Amino acid sequence: MKIIVLKFGGTSVGTIKRIKKVANIIARYKKKYYVIVLSSAMSGVTNNLINLSKKISKNFSASEYDVLVSSGEQMSCALISAELINKGFNSRSWISWQVPILTEGKYKFSRINKINKNQIISYLRKGGIPIITGFQGINNKNRITTIGRGGTDASAIMFAKFFKAQKCIIYTDVDGVYSTDPNKLKSAKKIKVISYEEMLEMASLGAKVMQPHSIQDARLNRVDIEVRSSFTDNKGTLITKRKNIINNKIITGISSTTNDAKVTLLGVRDKPGIAASIFKPLSENSINVDMVVQNISANGRETDLTFTVKSEDLSKTKKIVLQNKKINFRDLVFDKSVSKVSIIGVGMVTTPGVTYRMFQALAKQKINIQVISTSEIKISVLIERKNVQRAILSLHKEFKLNK
Ligand code: ADP
Ligand code: ASP
Ligand code: MG
């Protein structure tokens, strides 16, 4: 059975005109494949639903939040399906609980672990086109769950895995993965093929084009992904295993974030176990600490400790640190106007001097680096948010990404 999974993002189904275009794309694939479609909500709808929840309460029930914010997908799936019916196809929508798509984990951040195939397979065999709600599933209490913002990418990849699809195509509003966000830098260049590892870093470090969990799932299950535009017929980007790629670039891409906040504890006692005492209660409260730097203490007794968290976790972090009886410090300072800029590429493993080139390029722009973190295939720096655009432009040039 030659199955293909097609995912359409919010902008691709954002208007009735676009939904009609999407139906034409689906019809084209139907000639050659059994087609399974996953759709996001129309663009803006999920945000509006989240805003409604905020009007009820800041502490809106997590289980009801998932019922609420998953509802946008029901709407878009019905519209796509009805348009296909209008065109003479056999199609129907499937809400996640009807499949069902089973998830585990917490509300808002669940992960898909199983998909019941029976109904969908027999419907495909009868020539039907199932249009399935992305971004959601049900848990073992039979309650609706969601799988994190942008989650329809992960839904599509899990469908491709469970149905052993020949292809998984992510239709979005850009015609592929670029060296950096093409909506922010005109000279960004389309990447023809990229490895899961690099895409995972790019996505985790701010490239919204793919949701990070979806790339983890794709890598674990060896699902090849094609990212392309629902607005043009241009060839897209293939995301695949490293072995399939011949690459002569040192750096593949540059990502940036806009939702980081920096926290500094001044005058912390410099003794073993202090960092653990600071970070333990944060992790117990599901606050993800990202970059960390500790200054060398001048007098051997006191030091300054700086770390970053997501901006939305800042007030919670502040509260937890101030209530922490296990630590002493002189002052607590915050900075919300910071951003993380990262360069990513498997090429840096075998190329010396990449760090130096990055720092020098930023120094030439008089951009101050506040915190640094590295892994085998990425270097991230924390800088003032107002300098992000200039930083990206200079790094893009330095590593010849527009060539
Ligand atoms: P969808 O609604 O289809 O899921 P998203 O808005 O989630 O689409 O992702 C597409 C957006 O990702 C693009 O409009 C683009 O601005 C942004 N983006 C960020 N980094 C990159 C990159 N490196 N390559 C391509 N797009 C990127
Ligand atoms: N509609 C959801 C969101 O906006 C899921 C998705 O678009 O993938 O996050
Ligand atoms: Mg998305």
Q: Is the CB of 77 under 6 A from ligand 2?
A: no
Specify whether the CB–CB gap between 38 and 155 falls below 8 A.
yes
SS3 labels along the chain? CCEEEEEECCCCCCCHHHHHHHHHHHHHHHCCCEEEEEECCCCCHHHHHHHHHHHHCCCCCHHHHHHHHCHHHHHHHHHHHHHHHHCCCCEEEECHHHCCEEEECCCCCCEEEEECCHHHHHHHHCCCEEEEECCEEECCCCCEEECCCCCHHHHHHHHHHHCCCCEEEEEECCCCCECCCCCCCCCCCECCEEEHHHHHHHHHCCCCCCCHHHHHHHHHHCCCEEEEECCCCCCCEEEECHHHCCCCCCCCEEEECCCEEEEEEEEEECCCCHHHHHHHHHHHCCCCCCCEEECCCCCCCEEEEEEEEEHHHHHHHHHHHHHCCCCCCCEEEEEEEEEEEEEECHHHHCCCCHHHHHHHHHHHCCCCCCEEEEECCEEEEEEEHHHHHHHHHHHHHHCCCCC
Whether the CA torsion 324, 326, 331, 333 is positive or negative: it is: negative
Inside any domain, residue 229: no
With CA atoms as reference, report the closest residue to 218 among 151, 137, 158, 165: 158
Span from the CA of 186 to the centroid of ligand 1 (angstroms): 14
pTM: 0.94
- Beta strands 167-172 and 3-8, pairing class: parallel
Q: Is the CB of 14 under 6 A from ligand 2?
A: no
Inside any domain, residue 74: yes
Which residue range forms the structural domain that includes residue 86? 3-173
Q: Which atom of ligand 2 is nearest to the CA of 47?
A: 4
Pocket probe for ligand 1: among 209, 239, 396, the residue whose CB has the most ligand atoms within 8 Å is 209
Inside any domain, residue 346: no
Instruction: Provide residues with CB under 6 Å of ligand 1.
Output: 9-12, 40, 150, 172-174, 177-178, 180-183, 207-209, 253
Q: What's the pLDDT score for residue 383?
A: 97
Q: Is the CB of 46 under 6 A from ligand 2?
A: yes
Q: Rounded to whole angstroms, how far apart are CA atoms 112 and 134?
A: 11
Inside any domain, residue 70: yes
Specify whether the CB–CB gap between 2 and 36 falls below 8 A.
no
Inside any domain, residue 388: no
Inside any domain, residue 122: yes
Enumerate residues with CB within 5 Å of ligand 3 (an ion): 9, 150
Q: Is the CB of 134 under 6 A from ligand 2?
A: yes
Span from the CA of 10 to the centroid of ligand 3 (angstroms): 7
Q: Rounded to whole angstroms, how far apart are CA atoms 379 and 374?
A: 4
Pocket probe for ligand 1: among 180, 181, 214, the residue whose CB has the most ligand atoms within 8 Å is 181
Span from the CA of 401 to the centroid of ligand 2 (angstroms): 30
Inside any domain, residue 82: yes
Q: Whose CA is nearest to atom 6 of ligand 2?
A: 150
One digit per residue, the tens of pLDDT, for the chain of length 403 reads: 799 999 999 999 999 999 999 999 999 999 999 999 999 999 999 999 999 999 999 889 999 999 999 999 999 999 999 999 999 999 999 999 999 999 999 999 999 999 999 999 999 999 999 999 999 999 999 999 999 999 999 999 999 999 999 999 999 999 999 999 999 999 999 999 999 999 999 999 999 999 999 999 999 999 999 999 999 999 999 999 988 888 778 999 999 999 999 999 999 988 888 889 999 999 999 899 999 998 777 777 888 999 999 999 999 999 999 999 989 899 999 999 999 999 999 999 888 899 999 999 999 999 999 999 999 999 999 999 999 999 999 999 999 998 8
Q: Which atom of ligand 2 is nearest to the CA of 9?
A: 7
Pocket probe for ligand 1: among 8, 152, 173, the residue whose CB has the most ligand atoms within 8 Å is 173
Inside any domain, residue 247: no
Q: What's the pLDDT score for residue 302?
A: 86
We report the CATH number of the domain holding residue 27 as 3.40.1160.10
What's the structural domain count of the chain? 1
